[in-house]
Structure 1
Amino acid sequence: MNAKLRAVLPMLVDVVVPVAGYYLLSACGLDDFWALTIAGLATAVHALVTTVRRRRLDGFGALVVLEIALSLVLLGVTRDPRIVLLKPSFYTALAGVFLIGTCLAGKPFTLDVTRPMAVGGDPRMAAAVDAAAAPGTGYHREHLRLTAVWAAIWLVESVVRGWIVLQTDVATGVLVSQVPGLVALVVGIAYSRSRVPALRRHVAEYAAVSASGTPASPTRPGS
């Protein structure tokens, strides 16, 4: 599987499969509630498999666990298809609150999930990234802003998606309600990419300090 296909696969699973699954199951005679619930299982299974493969419960894994728990609660308390269709809005609202919580705790979500990409398997880069990630550095502040922006994006998306679901019938809402999520991803990815040069610059400063043999100060490079 090439890199481009790996990049779009999560979106295909999370968007295309549930929507196509709903229309297919509806055509087979299932009522809206079960068609939406069964079609949504593909997303839950994909998220769970991804977490298991990572072999550790990091911020991403904790978010997946919270979302699965929410799915089980909703499944147990309602048989209203519109509530099931609102479930992604609950997910993204939960994600937004969770991201804000990581900022308040001083461990912004993006700091953890982007570390493997920043390190690239290089022990020297790992040391530089870890030094740059100390609280109070420019790199850490960049990740606080980045995580906060993603939190705001998902909170807005949850409100817009919820409004669409409540204003349309179920069959229309299944398709149209995907639009806010796609827009949110495009906006979030565009902002994230715009901050990559600054993040790389902060890490490069710490890598240069490490290469020179000078002890790195957590508040000096990129402060």
Structure 2
Amino acid sequence: MITTGAERNQPQSIAVDRTSRQKNAAVRRLIARQLIVELVLPIGGYYGLRAAGVNPWLALIAPAVLTVPFLAYQAIRQRRVDAVALFTLTMIVVGAVMSLVTGDPRTLMVRDSWIFGVLGLWILATLFTQQPFIRTTSRAIVTVKIGEEGYRQWDARWHNDSEFRSQLRVLTAVWGATFTADALLRVALAYTLPIDSVPLVSSLQWLVVLAGLWTFHTVYVTKKGLKV
């Protein structure tokens, strides 16, 4: 989901024989898959089941469970477990268990809030490691655009370019702070809006936040010469 990379201070060989159009097409396919799994399936599934008369709890949990096969397929195809996908799967399971204990559909809606809150705090915590969030999540986009060898050359800058490290940490800090703040707003929405309005309003609110975050990210990586 992250568009980062580096063009300056790196070997020419990192620019593999892919045209700009091919790179953009590959990124669009990746983002489309993520939107289907993270937005269309959960929201469309919820309202479809509610229209069919399914109770709010089941309408919330069923689409979330349907995302599990997609996450598993991605891990098998890439032959590695994506940290963010694993985190998402864990939160789905924990949230479902919490709702079973309380029997309250709003618990599942608040679940999205604390998922983003915990995710935001986790992103901020990675600032103090050698694998900040942006460095980790950039792998998929960079690999899609310039291949595995290009990614390895891109990532090698972490070890010998202090400015590169600083820039990735700035991006990580902004993503973490935004996710954490967004979680607080989601809690307010979950407990103040009519129950059937929460999924749609919360998702629209998230799209606005994501658009602002993505705009900042794109401007920053372009200005700093980080785009592959």
TM bracket, shorter-chain basis = 0.7 to 0.9
Partner of 2:120: 96
Choose which of 162, 171, 177 in structure 1 pairs with 2:187. 162
Rounded Cα–Cα distance in structure 2 between residues aligned with 1:135 and 1:92: 33
Corresponding pairs, count: 200
Kindly provide the CA deviation profile for residues 63-101 of structure 1, in whole angstroms up to 9, marking residues without a partner as x.
234324423432442321011112211221121111112
Rounded Cα–Cα distance in structure 2 between residues aligned with 1:28 and 1:122: 46
TM-score (norm 1): 0.77
Query: Cα 1:116–1:164, aligned 2, differ >3 Å: closer, same or farther?
Result: closer
Gaps of 5+ in 1: 204-223
Contact 1:110 1:146 in 2 (8 A): yes
Partner of 2:78: 54
Contact 1:89 1:158 in 2 (8 A): yes
Higher relative contact order (CA 8 A, sep 6+): 2
Rounded Cα–Cα distance in structure 2 between residues aligned with 1:115 and 1:28: 40
Choose which of 160, 164, 177 in structure 2 pairs with 1:139. 164
Rounded Cα–Cα distance in structure 1 between residues aligned with 2:130 and 2:148: 25
Partner of 1:179: 204
Aligned residue identity for 1:11:
L
- Please state if 1:152 is matched with 2:177: yes
Choose which of 132, 147, 160 in structure 2 pairs with 1:121. 147
Kindly provide the CA deviation profile for residues 138-197 of structure 1, in whole angstroms up to 9, marking residues without a partner as x.
111111111111111111111111111111111111211112221222122112211223
TM-score (norm 2): 0.75
Rounded Cα–Cα distance in structure 1 between residues aligned with 2:126 and 2:42: 29
Rounded Cα–Cα distance in structure 1 between residues aligned with 2:157 and 2:192: 47
Aligned residue identity for 2:34:
P
- Indicate the RMSD between aligned Cα atoms, in angstroms: 2.6
- Please state if 1:27 is matched with 2:85: no
Gaps of 5+ in 2: 1-24
Following superposition of structure 1 onto structure 2, how do residues 62-73 of structure 1 map, counting pairs within 5 Å?
Answer: 62-73=86-97
Aligned residue identity for 2:201:
V
Query: Cα 1:41–1:103, aligned 2, differ >3 Å: closer, same or farther?
Result: same
- TM superposition shift of 1:16: 2.5
Aligned residue identity for 1:162:
V
Rounded Cα–Cα distance in structure 2 between residues aligned with 1:51 and 1:127: 20
Aligned residue identity for 1:183:
V
Rounded Cα–Cα distance in structure 2 between residues aligned with 1:135 and 1:183: 37
With 181-190 and 63-72 compared, the bigger mean Cα shift is at 63-72
- Please state if 1:188 is matched with 2:213: yes
- Please state if 1:14 is matched with 2:38: yes
Matched residue SS, 1:91 = helix
Aligned residue identity for 1:102:
T
Aligned residue identity for 1:196:
V
- TM superposition shift of 1:20: 2.2
Contact 2:65 2:92 in 1 (8 A): no
Contact 2:91 2:115 in 1 (8 A): yes
- TM superposition shift of 1:117: 4.1
Query: Cα 1:100–1:76, aligned 2, differ >3 Å: closer, same or farther?
Result: same
